[in-house]
Structure 1
Amino acid sequence: MSTWILLRGLTRETRHWGALTDALRDVAGIEHLLPIDLPGNGEFSTVRAPANVAEMVDFVRLAALQSGVPGPYCVLAMSLGGMAATHWAQRHPAEIERLVLINTSMRPFSRVTERLRPSAWPTLLDVAAHWRDARRAEAGIHRVTCNRKETLDADLDAWSEIRRSRPVGRANALRQLWAAARFTADAAKPQCPLLILSSRGDELVDPSCSSRLAAAWHAPRREHPWAGHDLPHDDPAWTAEQIRAWLAHYDAELDAAF
């Protein structure tokens, strides 16, 4: 059975997947999960983050190899993690079996003001200015990435503790942002089966980024009606169900072909 590598986005780490990991097991039936932090985040928070996505991919490939779990891998990735997963699949196609991208964006398919919506810039500047104030910084991140607010206090408690226990340096955050801004994908679709998930209520990245990517690559896309950028936080059950249904449909097509 395939191993699924999970890659989060800018300054986020494996603990930020929250309830999604259980949902993937319970709803999608995915048992073998291998969450890996991008360099500069989480387990690797003391590592200097590269200023380009290609070096992030090299780092993640090595971490996967060192885990002892053989490939090829399925990869579930969001935002900056989605850029890394796309580059991995395009540069090393034999290593990636399936790919699910969540609320990601990349050149040449989207403009800079779509990839980072101007309405989010004031909040992000405030987060940067108060980077060492864990709760204030996390409150700003929550405001622009999450539309499910009933768990706000618990989220901020958990995220603030994550930030305090394994803080991401401001310089690492800026290098990750710079890498994301510069990343350009190949025009050709990755060779593996691909699913794109997006959120209609994303206030950080315009959902048109996902729709254009899906159109260019003739890939299936599913859009959540109200979730924010952090779709796994806002509706983990819906996210897992879309993956389950896609896998079932793809397996059915394979069976029919043979």
Structure 2
Amino acid sequence: MSTWILLRGLTRETRHWGPLPAMLREATHADSLLQLDLPGNGALVNQRAPARVAEMVGFVRLAVSQSSVPGPYRVLAMSLGGMVATAWAQQYPDEIEKLVLVNTSMRPFSRAPERLRPQAWPVLLRVAADWRNARQAEAVIHQLTCNERSALADDLAAWTAIRESAPVSRTNALRQLWAAARFNAARTVPRCATLLLSSAHDRLVNPVCSAKLAAAWGAAHVQHPWAGHDLPHDDPAWTSQTVGAWLPETAPARGTAF
């Protein structure tokens, strides 16, 4: 039985996946799929966001244990969610069967300017300045993270509605950013089969971060030619189909270290 768990990134929630979950389930013939919010986001917007990735791992494991979804799990996670998924797979290898990381980054593999491009800092400051202006903040986030803009008006309407119904506090956003900045992955290669997905035109995180992770772990890496940081938004069909095509190619877990 195959069970997928989906983890989103910084200040994003399950509704931001859009059509990706349904497409992924079809492409991978999954038996079940569980979408989880990190504390401080979505359904958990009133909770205090942990300031450490390790605490987020504890929360995710508790949430999964309280569900009726059986393991071991296949996890697809992006950005901050990818850090959480990596720490989970490294610390509890028997719980994770497959790992797909989308546009994530972490020490000790990548340098700070690679993990957060310097040109993104002024844009993030604009987001912070407009934090309480839902539509303006989401417009700036869309411009920074998405390259598919054919449905821009619909995207902004949906994202603004999400922010207004579950507004992430500025404090929780900063705590999540602090947790991401401090995260340092262990030096143990994940024992599960791992796929890195990156976007060639990611303006937030340099795609070299995914390439370095793949090289260090001996993992598969596939790069999308035109998408932005929010690859599941820009091309959910490609994301799902790439994962579906990779699954039959996965080799038995190795459990080695670099």
What are the within-5 Å matches in structure 2 for residues 36-55 of structure 1? 36-55=36-55
CA–CA distance in structure 1, aligned partners of residues 235 and 30 of structure 2: 17
Aligned-residue Cα RMSD (Å) equals: 1.0
4+ runs deviating over 2 angstroms: 25-31
What does residue range 164-203 of structure 1 map to in structure 2 within 5 Å?
Answer: 164-203=164-203
Q: CA deviation at 1:71?
A: 1.7
Alignment of 1:100-249 (within 5 A): 100-249=100-249
Amino acid aligned to 1:231: L
Matches within 5 A, 1:77-96: 77-96=77-96
**In 2, Cα distance between the equivalents of 1:111 and 1:83?**
15
One-letter amino acid matched to 1:87? A
Please tell me whether residue 12 in structure 1 is matched to residue 12 in structure 2.
yes
* Code of the aligned partner of 1:150: S
Q: Partner of 2:77: helix, strand, or coil?
A: strand
How far apart in 2 are the matches of 1:26 and 1:75? 16
* Structure 2 runs not aligned, ≥5 long: 253-258
One-letter code aligned to 2:185: A
Shift of 1:187: 2.1
Listed one character per residue, the Cα deviations across residues 89-127 of structure 1 (whole Å, up to 9, x for unaligned) are: 001111111100000000000011110111111111010
Q: Which amino acid aligns with 1:157?
A: A
The residue type paired with residue 82 of structure 2 is G
CA shift for structure 1 position 32: 1.0
Report % sequence identity.
66
Partner of 2:255: none
Distance 2:90 2:28 in 1: 26
1:58 aligns with 2:51: no
Please give the per-residue CA displacement for 1:4-34, whole angstroms capped at 9, x wherever unaligned. 1000000000000001112112333224110
Task: Please give the TM-score of this superposition, normalised by the length of structure 1.
Answer: 0.96
- TM-score if structure 2 supplies the norm length? 0.96
Stretch deviating more after TM superposition (241-250 or 85-94): 241-250
Secondary structure of the equivalent of 2:28?
coil
